[in-house]
Amino acid sequence: MRKALGAAVTEQLVTTGLKLTPCHPSMITARDAIFQADAQITGGANRCGLWRAFASRQMGVGASSPDSPNYEAPSAIVLSTAVPDDCVVSEGVVRSFASTDAAKEIPDGDPAGATSVLDVAPSGLDLVRLTADIHVTHTFRADLVIQLIAPDGQVVTLSDQIGGFYGTYDDYIVTNLDLTSTFAPGTLASGRWKLVVRDLTPLDVGTIDSFTLHVTSTN
């Protein structure tokens, strides 16, 4: 989950999922509570990324386990690596695009923020799968609102003032963050993408160090 969604999103979903998990949960019950947390917090934006993560650990669609701890009946456990049909990633061509305007300083306490851009070409590329590598250096991540804007204007919020104290919540760094399910079906990948980082609170500072998109398309 951390690899697919990033540490900040994962921490938020797991913490909220714990609050939604009933007593004496099975692994599947605890998994479902994380899906419920994602539905409440993001409207299910991370659903496919979660399914792929759980399926890779044999907790995919159709997996089941006893409702209460029952270590004497391992045969009651059903494993599955399946994901929902709409989360299956078709084979295609993968192209990577990196911004050329990093590093960009993020204005401190300024809602205008900093914007890093990259152009996806050639034209007409459909969006089968989209993952992102983002490296933002900052001394207090909870100051930041980080958004990705597609060429057609769709906006996805990657982090909304998520963080804490004592040095454990500074930089925002994700690798291969799966954003496929956050954009509407039929979205085109071609065009100018923007990474917008806004620092809403004074004192702490940072920069957008790098921004890369990996686009899978059938054409």
pLDDT digits 0-9 by tens, 84-137: 888 876 678 899 999 999 789 999 999 999 999 999 998 888 888 899 999 999
Structural class in CATH, domain 93-217? mainly beta
Q: Are 204 and 108 in contact (CB under 8 A)?
A: yes
pTM to 2 decimal places? 0.63
The answer to whether 126 and 219 have CB atoms below 8 angstroms apart is yes
The pLDDT score that the predictor gives to residue 82 is: 85
Q: Tell me the pLDDT band of 168, cut-offs 50, 70 and 90.
A: low
What's the gap between Cα 219 and its chain centre?
25
Architecture of domain 2-87: Orthogonal Bundle (1.10)
Burial of 207 (0-12, 13-18, 19+ CB in 10 A): middle
Three-class SS state of 87: helix
Portions of the chain given CATH number 1.10.390.10: 2-87
Contact 37, 1 (CB under 8 A): no
**What number of other Cβ atoms are within 10 A of residue 185's Cβ?**
7
Q: Where along the chain do the CATH 2.60.120.260 domains lie?
A: 93-217
